[in-house]
Amino acid sequence: MPNQTEFPFANARRISESEVIAAEKAIKQQFGINLTQSKSSLKNEIENYQSISIKLHPKIITWAKAEAEKKGVEYQVIINEVLLKAITV
């Protein structure tokens, strides 16, 4: 097979609607991510967060990144979950 630098999109087939639905179900089942959630509600959810800059101990970052990799999310999500649990207990 010749070394190609670009994917041959002209030769690729489109996936069917049933394949899209099956993939979304598999992602939701394995990772808990709902891809069929409306984009506007996802945007509203993201807009509820405030961007800040914070200095944390390197051990916290290392732990959060390891946990995030296990769950397939960003490490900031892990830190946010821990902080939310701390204030709701």
At 60, list the tokens: 């916290």
| Per-residue confidence (pLDDT) for residue 1, from 0 to 100 | 53
What is the average pLDDT value for the chain, to the nearest integer? 83
Q: Higher-confidence residue: 43 or 9? A: 9
User: pLDDT by residue (tens digit) across 45-87?
Assistant: 666 788 899 999 999 999 999 999 998 889 998 999 999 999 9
- The CA-based angle 60-34-18, given to 5 degrees, is 140
Give the pTM.
0.49
What pLDDT shows up at residue 44?
A: 61
**Mind spelling out the 3-state secondary structure of 36-69?**
CCCHHHHHHHHHCCCCCCCCCCHHHHHHHHHHHH
